[in-house]
Amino acid sequence: MFNRFQAAAGLTGLVLLPTLIAPTPGSAQEAEDPPGHKDPIIAFAMEMVVPVLGHAYAGDARRGIAPALVHVAGYGLIGYGVTRALDCLLCGSDSGDDDTDRVIISIGLAAAVVGKVWGLVSVASTVRDHNASLVVEPTPDRQLALGLKVKF
């Protein structure tokens, strides 16, 4: 049934299969993140969903409060402008219609966008600062030094 060539090919395949499936030694040489390292993508996603949450993940929630306040104030202005516009629509009066509602809504929209962009840029720098404080690097006299950042 089997000739010698087929038997040798099958045996060679059985020997080579575990070698081909096993992870390469090069994967063990990749640098690992230091303990406490924060992933900027996770922080960015958290900040997109809930303002200040990405900053809290990065370890400095206070840096996210100002952008979050601008963002929330923008939504407040949008709500106020829409309420004024609906009130004017429902009352049916054309008196005093000077596009103030549109201006308020536009300012609110701009504030919401600026607050969101500010928060996303800020969370990226917060994560970068946090990760930089964990770096171990050689000093000029060839000794290892651990960079620690202390906040008071």
Which of the residue ranges 26-30, 42-46, 58-62 would you say has the lowest mean pLDDT?
Answer: 26-30
Is residue 19 situated within a structural domain? no
State how far the Cα of 93 lies from the Cα of 33, in Å rounded to an integer.
64
Residue 62 domain flag: yes
Q: Describe the crossing of helices 100-132 and 65-91 by its angle, rounded to 10 degrees.
A: 160
Q: pLDDT tens-digit profile of 54-73?
A: 999 998 999 999 999 999 99
Task: Name the least confident of 44-48, 54-58, 89-93, 140-144.
Answer: 140-144
In a domain, 99, yes or no: yes
Q: Is the pLDDT of residue 29 over 80?
A: no
pLDDT band at 123 (very low <50, low <70, confident <90, very high): very high
> Which position has the higher pLDDT, 121 or 4?
121
Q: What local confidence, expressed as pLDDT, does residue 19 receive?
A: 60
State which residues form the domain around 56.
34-136
> How many folded domains does the chain comprise?
1
Q: Is residue 122 part of a domain?
A: yes
In a domain, 16, yes or no: no
| Structure tokens belonging to residue 151 | 């906040």
For residue 42, tell me if it sits in a domain.
yes
The pLDDT score that the predictor gives to residue 142 is: 58
| Assigned domain for 109 exists | yes
Question: Measuring CA to CA, how many Å separate 7 from each of 13, 14, 15, 107, 150?
Answer: 10, 11, 12, 79, 67
The verdict on residue 6 lying in a domain is no
